[in-house]
Structure 1
Amino acid sequence: MFMYQAQPPLEFIAPKYNPQFLRLTHLLLPLWMRAQTSLTKVEAENVETLVDLYSQFQAGKIRFMLAFRHPKTDDPIALGYLFSRIVPEVARHKGIKFTAPVHAHCIYDRGIPLWAGAHMGWILQYLGGTPIQRGKADWTGLRSARDLFANGAFPMAAAPEGATNGLSEIVSPLEPGISQMAFWCAEDLQKAGRTEQVVILPVGIKYSYVTEPWDAINDLLTELEVKSGLKSEELGVRSEELTSSTQHSALSTQHSLYSRLLRLAEHLLSIMENFYTKFYHCKLSTNGGAELPSDKNEAIAARLRALLDVILQVAEDFFKLQPKGSLNDRCRRVEQAGWNCIFREDFKDIKTLSVVEKGLGNRAALEANMRMWHMRVVESFVAVTGSYVRENPTPERFAETLLILWEMVTRITEGNTSRRPNLGKQKANIIIGTPISVSDRYSEYKESRSGARLAVADLTKELQVSLEKLI
């Protein structure tokens, strides 16, 4: 019921770093990882670079931010293992002594405690994290993050993609906030007469299965086929194909599964297109009005782009928003508009409101939440290309694509997407990239407003390229 009732505005969760709580978290992390995630192992490459940056940070020579890839919600667990286990081990091997602990102040989405539970806000608070409300100028959150970047006891950590995209091998378009914050840090240091250099460190995170989960992939694909209403005789043919193919080669298995995946994608697209055309009176302008490509993957991609656009318009029309910018930008504006209807300034003193006013407020919150549902469907697909599996039909790409489809189907049929299917044990590979100097670009940034905008855009572009190279 929480999101269906009008409430006072969201309060800022001030960071309250607690060293005892961090030690307890590091101690319990392996147990938490085994119990709450599919991760069994975390590996890292080029850790020496991170060790060197921590050494310089503790020596007062630099301030830096880890800009990490964010494919899934397990990323903070993997990074916590990196900080608590791998970095100290590599430092000892190199003979470098740190002032314990190795940690980072994370910047997190203020919405996380809403869907993950209030306890998660408490955990992040006492780990020294600071929240940001996406989709609006959250000056309180920005001031807190800016102060921690320049003066915090630890480096910063943030995901420049802004949200998970479910895909280990595709980087979503980056938001410029990380670059802007880095330049603010350089500005704050200069004003204070400090000599530290400001650096952004790209960090890649990629997941792989310990054992190829083809059986689990087949089972999940079958479940989605049944739920989406594909005919039983079609399922029987595909099951026979799979049984026959596994007797011959893994390549045949992949071909069979891929054919089924394409059929499922086309079927779900048709269902969703019919739904939004019939009940929301949307006009689908597929492929800009031109004929669809003959290639099935390209045709699916064109249809998906058109569908995502009209789904977002359903939410935007309700909130009177113009469809400007990328899908990510539009999702953030819809989310903030919905939150404005749920977490209201005029409900600060809710006890003074009449029963009628509360009832109308709850009605507005319910309708806003229903419109935000459409945005959540789009949010799951912002990085889907239509050719991700075809380009490299690994079990990881099959699984990631199927889990995105599962999230959409589950959002429609049940609503609760928190319990994702576990297709098998995984390991995380963290790749430390090459540091990017922000201080070297600061002279360009401070020249003029246009120079600042260009500097932020250029830094964001370089960070995007750096993260893509780490895949």
Structure 2
Amino acid sequence: MPRSIQSTQPPLKFIPQRLNLLVLQIVRWLLPIALRFRTRPWLPAGIVKIEAKNVEVLAELYQQFQAGKIRFLLAFRHPEVEDPLCMLYLLSRIVPQVARQKGITLQSLVHSYFLYDRGMTVWAGKWLGWLFSLLGGVPVRRGRRLDRQAIQNARELFANGELPIAVAPEGGTNGHSGIVSPLEPGVAQMGFWCVEDLQKANRSETVIVVPIAIQYHYVEPPWSKLDWLLSKLEADSGLKISEIDSGNSEEIYYQRLSRLAEYLITEMEEFYRRFYHQDIPKTISTDESTSANQVLIARLHRLLDKALQVVEQYFGVQGQGNFIDRCRRLEEAGWSYIYRDDLPDINALAPFKRGLADWIAEEADLRMRHMRIVESFVAVTANYIQEQPTAERFAETVLLVFDMLSRIQNTTLPGRPRLGLRQAEITVGEPISVTERFTNSQGDRQASKQAVSDLTKDLQNALEKMIR
């Protein structure tokens, strides 16, 4: 999260992709260090091992791509911020190695163009946009109904670029290795556009989408670090010392986490009742079959809805769609107040008008913080930990709570505490032919929309099966 914005900002300009092979090679050399020490050079608690399954499928696809037989898109899961580093490791090291082992000849660079959220350069800094540009990245404004410049660039690269293209169809991280968020239709639409572009150019390449799953596991279950982090969160929230017996069993951690979650939800409900005048009943309708955990999740979702309503009312945005859809629209609405496309030269404004612009930018930034809190919890479900009470799932959930408290307590979001060394597991799924589905997408607008929906659904199912 960036520092608090207190003044209007220049427009967020499009950053053109300009792949630089020298910069790419340097990043590849530094990749193991970046994976191990990302964001905290003094703390060796990153990713120490990456394993991949079914990689020969990807190696063969690159061989066919380089022979001019196919065009393909890598649709990868995006649970954590480390995912792009893991994808780069997969392409730069694992795929060439497997290709050599299997006797698959690759004639040129194994890499990909990729789409990334333009907002990353807002909180990380301009240097990230410069680096991503040189690595083949194309920035996308996620909340825009139609980011024409990004779409045109991505469409051109998919059909005519020297490399495949990689996209995270979830649109953002959800913090859960074991849950796939609802996919956005962009990947499917790009696939059909690519087939259309190839046919118009009388080209015969087959267009393929490749699902890729990424999951993370701790080398050693970090129960002691989890105990420390839970204790810190309990103290930071003002929760009284727990009377739960000490110990390391999963049930004790679950009780502590549930107790902390209920306390925080109760506090936040009162916060929105009192200061934002939201109608939040102190009870929730249930029946005899409803568990305490289900009640808690229902209260959480009601709270997230109210938090988004606060922002939607301010920006005059209609609350349509799921939480993710609403967050995307609010992000774009907030940016339109801060990064003023209608003010190309903010330094030329009269002091009075500049003061008004700064005022509205600061207030927009404050309102967007409600949305950022909601973003952290869009994938939280009632049974995620109960289904598999592993250290990984406890850690993912506790770290989301840490993010929330950090956003409320600080104007900057500190780096997450490292709970232990981790390893990544990447699974390459079975390729999905878009070309075979293209005929069904022709005709009226409804047929096209249905074809995109069906492909998106099949991709979602493929990703979900690979992480079970």
Band of TM-score, shorter chain: over 0.9
What is the deviation of 1:418?
4.2
Out of 78, 85, 110, which is 1:70 matched to?
Answer: 78
For 2:447 and 2:81, the matched residues in 1 are separated by 36
What is the deviation of 1:280?
0.5
- Judge conservation of contact 1:445–1:452 (CA < 8 Å) in 2: yes
Give the aligned partner of residue 113 of structure 1: 121
Give the aligned partner of residue 347 of structure 2: 351
Out of 18, 34, 37, which is 2:36 matched to?
Answer: 34
What is the deviation of 1:112?
0.7
For 2:31 and 2:341, the matched residues in 1 are separated by 39
Q: What whole-Å deviation, never above 9, does each CA across 1:128-185 have from its counterpart, x for those lacking one? A: 1101101111101110111111111111101000000000000000011111111111
Long gaps (5+) in structure 1: 247-252
Determine if the alignment matches structure 1 residue 163 to structure 2 residue 172.
Answer: yes
TM-score of the two chains, using structure 2 as the length reference: 0.95
Secondary structure in structure 1 of the residue aligned to 2:328: helix
Q: Which moved more, 1:443-452 or 1:458-467?
A: 443-452
Determine if the alignment matches structure 1 residue 202 to structure 2 residue 211.
Answer: yes
What is the deviation of 1:98?
1.2
Give the aligned partner of residue 380 of structure 2: 384
For 1:347 and 1:78, the matched residues in 2 are separated by 39
For 2:62 and 2:5, the matched residues in 1 are separated by 41
Tell me which protein shows more helix as a share of its residues.
Answer: 1
What is the deviation of 1:3?
3.4
AA aligned to 1:34 is R
| Percent of aligned pairs with the same amino acid | 49
Give the aligned partner of residue 25 of structure 2: 23
Out of 404, 407, 419, which is 1:408 matched to?
Answer: 404
Secondary structure in structure 2 of the residue aligned to 1:44: strand
Secondary structure in structure 2 of the residue aligned to 1:4: coil
AA aligned to 1:407 is D
Secondary structure in structure 2 of the residue aligned to 1:70: coil
Give the aligned partner of residue 323 of structure 2: 327
Secondary structure in structure 2 of the residue aligned to 1:303: helix
Q: What whole-Å deviation, never above 9, does each CA across 1:283-305 have from its counterpart, x for those lacking one? A: 12689855696411101111011
Give the aligned partner of residue 182 of structure 2: 173
Secondary structure in structure 2 of the residue aligned to 1:347: coil
Within 5 Å, which residues of 2 pair with 1:445-464? Answer: 445-464=441-460
For 2:281 and 2:195, the matched residues in 1 are separated by 46
Determine if the alignment matches structure 1 residue 129 to structure 2 residue 137.
Answer: yes
Q: What whole-Å deviation, never above 9, does each CA across 1:164-219 have from its counterpart, x for those lacking one? A: 00000000000111111111111111111110111110000000000110000111
- Judge conservation of contact 1:209–1:425 (CA < 8 Å) in 2: yes
For 2:252 and 2:286, the matched residues in 1 are separated by 31
AA aligned to 2:179 is I
Secondary structure in structure 2 of the residue aligned to 1:3: coil
Secondary structure in structure 1 of the residue aligned to 2:5: helix
Give the aligned partner of residue 250 of structure 1: none
What is the deviation of 1:392?
0.7
- Judge conservation of contact 1:4–1:342 (CA < 8 Å) in 2: no
What is the deviation of 1:414?
1.5
Give the aligned partner of residue 202 of structure 2: 193
For 1:2 and 1:151, the matched residues in 2 are separated by 41
Determine if the alignment matches structure 1 residue 144 to structure 2 residue 153.
Answer: yes
The number of residues matched between the two structures is 458
Q: What whole-Å deviation, never above 9, does each CA across 1:385-429 have from its counterpart, x for those lacking one? A: 022111110000000000000000111112322400100000000
Q: Cα 1:292–1:363, aligned 2, differ >3 Å: closer, same or farther?
A: farther
For 2:414 and 2:116, the matched residues in 1 are separated by 18
Q: What whole-Å deviation, never above 9, does each CA across 1:409-460 have from its counterpart, x for those lacking one? A: 1111123224001000000000001111100111111222110000000000
Secondary structure in structure 1 of the residue aligned to 2:116: strand
- Judge conservation of contact 1:103–1:155 (CA < 8 Å) in 2: yes
Secondary structure in structure 2 of the residue aligned to 1:419: coil
* Aligned CA-pair RMSD: 1.5
What is the deviation of 1:117?
1.4
Secondary structure in structure 2 of the residue aligned to 1:346: coil
Long gaps (5+) in structure 2: 40-45
Out of 268, 272, 279, which is 1:276 matched to?
Answer: 272
Q: What whole-Å deviation, never above 9, does each CA across 1:336-358 have from its counterpart, x for those lacking one? A: 00000011122102232111111
Q: What whole-Å deviation, never above 9, does each CA across 1:261-284 have from its counterpart, x for those lacking one? A: 110111111011110111101112
Give the aligned partner of residue 227 of structure 1: 236
Give the aligned partner of residue 249 of structure 1: none
AA aligned to 1:35 is F
Give the aligned partner of residue 361 of structure 1: 357
Secondary structure in structure 1 of the residue aligned to 2:342: helix
Give the aligned partner of residue 423 of structure 2: 427
For 2:317 and 2:347, the matched residues in 1 are separated by 32
Q: Which moved more, 1:25-34 or 1:159-168?
A: 25-34
Secondary structure in structure 1 of the residue aligned to 2:423: strand
Out of 193, 199, 211, which is 1:184 matched to?
Answer: 193
Give the aligned partner of residue 371 of structure 1: 367
- Judge conservation of contact 2:4–2:411 (CA < 8 Å) in 1: no
Q: What whole-Å deviation, never above 9, does each CA across 1:220-272 have from its counterpart, x for those lacking one? A: 0111111111113x2xx33xx22xx45xxxxxx11111111110111111011
- Judge conservation of contact 1:150–1:188 (CA < 8 Å) in 2: yes
What is the deviation of 1:2?
7.3
AA aligned to 2:238 is G
For 2:290 and 2:198, the matched residues in 1 are separated by 56
For 1:416 and 1:384, the matched residues in 2 are separated by 24
Determine if the alignment matches structure 1 residue 5 to structure 2 residue 7.
Answer: yes
- Judge conservation of contact 1:6–1:347 (CA < 8 Å) in 2: no
